[in-house]
Structure 1
Amino acid sequence: MIYITRRERFCSAHKLHREEWSAEKNEAIFGYCSNPNWHGHNYELYVTVKGEVDPVTGFLIDLKIMKNIINTYVVDKLDHKNINLDVDFMEGKMASTEVIAMEIFHQLRPHFEAHHVILHSVKLHETENNSVEYFGD
Structure 2
Amino acid sequence: MHKIRLTKEFRFEMAHALWNYDGLCKHFHGHSYILRVTVIGSPNNDSNSPKYGMVMDFGQLKAIVNEEVVDRLDHCVVINKNAEHQEFTNIPQMGERVVLTDYQPTCENMIVEMAERISSRLPKEVKLHSLRLNETANSFAEWFAEDNE
The TM-score with structure 2 as length reference comes to: 0.77
Determine if contact 1:5/1:48 at 8 Å carries over to the other structure.
Answer: yes
1:1-137 → structure 2 map (5 Å cutoff): 1-18=3-20, 26-27=21-22, 31-35=23-27, 38-55=28-45, 56=47, 57-84=52-79, 86-87=98-99, 91-112=101-122, 114-136=123-145, 137=148
Q: Supply the AA of the counterpart residue of 2:115.
A: F
Question: How many percent identity over aligned positions?
Answer: 34
Separation of aligned partners in 1, 2:140 and 2:58: 24
Question: What is the aligned residue count?
Answer: 122
Amino acid at match of 1:110: S
1:59 Cα offset (Å): 0.4
Q: Where does structure 1 differ by over 6 angstroms across 4 or more consecutive aligned residues?
A: none
Highest CA radius of gyration, 1 or 2?
2
Q: What is the aligned-residue RMSD (CA, Å)? A: 1.4
- Segments of structure 1 that go 5 or more residues without pairing to the other structure are 19-25
Query: In structure 1, what is the Cα distance between the partners aligned to 2:4 and 2:133?
Result: 21
How far 1:14 moved relative to its partner?
A: 0.4
Q: What are the ranges of 5 or more consecutive residues in structure 2 without an aligned counterpart?
A: 82-97
The superposition leaves residues 35-75 of structure 1 with CA deviations (integer Å, 9 ceiling, x where unpaired) of 1xx00000000000001000231100011101000001110
Deviation at 1:9, TM superposition (A): 0.4
Q: Which has the higher strand share?
A: 2
Deviations 1:59-102 (A, max 9, x none): 00011101000001110001000122733xx6221111000111
> Which letter does structure 2 place at the counterpart of 1:104?
M
Q: Aligned partners of 1:121, 1:13: CA distance in 2, in Å?
A: 24
Q: Is this contact kept in 2: 1:61–1:115, CA < 8 A?
A: no
